[in-house]
Amino acid sequence: MDSLSTITESNTTATSFYSRKTLLTTTLISMAYLLLSLLLVGFKTDQLALVLLFNTLYYLSRGTRKFITGFSIFIVYWILYDYMKAFPNYKFADVHIASIYHAEKNIFGIAAGGGILTPNEYWQLHGQTWLDVMSGFFYLCWIPLPLVFAVYLFYTNRMQFLHFALIFLLVNLLGFVVYYLCPAAPPWYVQQHGFELLPHTPGNTAGLIKFDQFFQVNIFQALYAKGSNVFAAMPSLHSAYPLIVLVFAWRNRTGLFRPVSAIVTPGIWFAAVYTGHHYILDVLAGILCAFSGILLYERVLCRQYFFISFLQYLRSHT
């Protein structure tokens, strides 16, 4: 009888894990995502890979289902970022090119050669190979560091993982709003095209090309070929991501993540300016965006009943 009961319970568990409702829901979500992606940004193999990864982990085991459900928060960010290609921000507001360049020069200008240079222009003239390599390595951490840290939190403190992931998403949403309210050209754009607006300018590796050339690879060339929008330099979300990690690492006593994030965070800030991808003003805006997202989440959202219920729902499924 015990064996029969065990078999019956196992069959019931398996049936609930692969329920018709669950299969139908994930299938519809996957198809809707692929169709919407096709309509908005065109078909890409990345989309199929994402659908395959999600469904594989969702149905592989209960543990992997909880994992991919939690990390769906990051998937939402990735999809929104990708879909921004369909809605270029320069169509919604005037692009700031000369204004931000002159503001940077007036506030942070460096006297050199009888004139005033922006920090980007200064480093373009005084670059060093070791700085090229160091900046490249720091810049490569911008997404891997938050993701690795998120995996760590997922397995050590599930609720802190959810807070971290949701703040990460919220900071991105705030940044995206600013992208559309205040489109801004990066420093490399001014160096290559001046102050003229060229809406269809492709992404550019700028100073990061030196990293690729040094190691004879095309890492950054491939990454920036997929860029969503050239005129999204402010705020620098590259500067925001490691700061979120640093805040959570410091609060949660996460061992090596403390010193690593304490080094990587200012390293990315420096690299953003050194490589010509961001002005110091962009970096400061990214820092402000990170702290604004954290405060908005903790002081406002986490005090709302509906959000507390949403958190409890997420926790029960991750």
Question: What would the pLDDT profile of 175-233 be if each residue is shown by its tens digit?
Answer: 999 999 999 999 999 999 999 999 989 989 999 999 999 999 999 998 887 766 899 99
Whether residue 235 is preceded by a cis peptide bond, meaning omega within 30 degrees of 0, is yes
pLDDT given at position 14: 58
Question: Which residues partner with 110 through β-bridges?
Answer: 117
With b meaning 16 or more CB within 10 Å and e meaning fewer, what string describes 117-129?
bbbbbbbbeebee
How much is the pTM?
Answer: 0.92
C-alpha neighbours within 13 Å on the C-beta side of residue 304: 10
List the one residue out of 304, 269, 42 whose CA is nearest residue 138: 269
Residue-level pLDDT at 225: 78
Residue 173 burial class via C-beta count within 10 angstroms: exposed 0-12, middle 13-18, buried 19 and up: middle
Q: How far apart are CA 242 and CA 282, in angstroms?
A: 15
Verify that 5 and 47 share a domain, yes or no: yes
pLDDT score at 193: 95
**What pLDDT, on the 0 to 100 scale, is given for residue 8?**
46
List, for the chain, all residue ranges whose pLDDT scores fall below the cut of 70: 1-15, 227-228
Q: Tell whether 281 and 137 lie within a shared domain.
A: yes
Which of 65, 54, 66, 46 is closest to 29 using CA atoms?
A: 54
Please count the residues of the chain.
Answer: 318
Same domain, 56 and 103: no
Distances (CA, A) of 159 to 70, 150, 213, 244, 311: 10, 11, 43, 16, 9
Distance (Å, whole) CA 314 – CA 67 = 11
| Same domain, residue pair 217 and 265 | yes
Pick from 284, 238, 257: nearest CA to 119: 284
Residue 83: the pLDDT is 94
- Name the domain count of the chain: 2
Domain shared by 65 and 128, yes or no:
no
Q: Show which of 86, 111, 126 is a domain's final residue.
A: 86
- Residues 213 and 308 both lie in one domain: yes
Residue type, 224: Y
The parent domain of residue 178 ranges over 93-317
Residues 102 and 241 in one domain: yes
Dihedral of CA atoms 77, 80, 81, 84 in degrees, nearest 10, equals -170
Residues 30 and 123 in one domain: no
pLDDT at position 4, please? 43
CB atoms within 10 A of CB 108: 18
Domain finish residue from 68, 86, 104: 86
Residue 267 has what pLDDT? 98
- Distance of alpha carbon 279 from alpha carbon 234, whole angstroms: 9
In the numeric block, which tokens belong to residue 219? Answer: 């890492």
Angle between helices 62-83 and 20-40 (to 10 degrees): 20
Final residue in a domain of this structure, among 86, 111, 143: 86
- Token output for 162: 């959810």
In this predicted structure, what is the pLDDT of residue 146? 98
